[in-house]
Chains A and B, each alone.
Chain A
Amino acid sequence: MPSKKPPPGHFNLLYFAASSSYTKKSVEAFKAPVSAADLFDLLEERYPGIKDKVLSSCAVTVNYQYVDLDDDGDDRAITIKEGDEVAIIPPVSSG
């Protein structure tokens, strides 16, 4: 699986499980930079309904670290940069 390098000026977004079924993709390149707080809205525009059906129960990693998507409060959401590896992490089900 992972992952071809994204084109210049882009980052790769990896989809797993339900997010992969919904988008019918395992990876997709998006233009950087993007605030992590805007990521779900960006996906909703491209895949109407995904926020409610899938993303509402998902976490997000940027370069293998879980990130906080809330931009309210004191912590500012991080900015996704060119070349980053971002992933949508649905509720897990190993075992």
Chain B
Amino acid sequence: MVLKDENIYVELTHDHLDTMTAINRVKSPKAGAVVLFAGTTRDTFDGKPVKQLEYTSYTILALAQLKRIANEMKKKHDLTAITLVHRLGVVPVGEESILIAVSAPHRQAAWRGGEEALEECKKRTEIWKLEEFEGEEGGVWRANRDGQAGVRIA
């Protein structure tokens, strides 16, 4: 599922994420800087071994939210191009769950735009992460919001 606008590309996919594809989407002769953030799934949470992570989304809302964030960041940081891609379904430990690629004429804007895009995605996008631990039934729905504990499945 993809939404596009001028120099904006956002996607939700069940497939493996490819970093070079994300970089190539934002590269431009106008941009001297490309910044890529790759969020990968960790093998522990609070010292507990994570078996697997699974992401679900309210797809219509999440795609629109990603596009809104991309638009805002592009305007605010004067980015040349921006790409936001999030993976859904089971993501094996060590693989990418999110890729953010931005380009800008100079590095400062690219760094800042990329960082703020990630923070906004984590705060706002209608995507949920279920962590399942080794040797435990069920799992925990994680929450990015500060101080918000995850909700354990009974």
Contacts and interface: CB of A to CB of B under 8 A. Distances in A.
Interface of A: 1-2, 14, 16-18, 20-21, 53-54, 57, 61, 64, 87, 89-95
Nearest to A61: B61
Contacts of A95: 39, 97-98, 118, 121-122, 129, 144
Contacts of A61: 58, 61
Chain B interface residue number, banded: 20 to 34
Contacts, number: 82
Nearest to A87: B58
Given A87-B58, A93-B122, A93-B129, 15 more contacts: A2-B60, A16-B56, A16-B126, A17-B56, A17-B151, A64-B60, A90-B128, A90-B143, A92-B123, A93-B150, A94-B62, A94-B86, A95-B121, A95-B122, A95-B144
Nearest to A49: B154
For A16, A17, A54, A92, which residue has the most chain B Cβ atoms within 10 angstroms? A92
Contact of A94 (B59, B129, B141, B154): B129
The 7 closest A-B pairs by CB, nearest first: A94-B127, A91-B143, A17-B128, A18-B151, A93-B142, A93-B129, A95-B122
Contacts of A90: 128, 141, 143, 151
A93 B141 contact: yes
Contacts of A54: 151
A94 B144 contact: yes
Contact of B128 (A57, A64, A93): A93
B144 A21 contact: no
Contacts of B123: 92
A64 B64 contact: yes
B148 A94 contact: no
B130 interface: yes
A54 to B, nearest CB: 7
Contact of B59 (A1, A53, A91, A93): A1
B125 interface: yes
B133 interface: no
Contact of B126 (A1, A18, A21, A89): A89
B68 interface: no
5 contacts: A91-B148, A93-B127, A93-B129, A95-B39, A95-B121
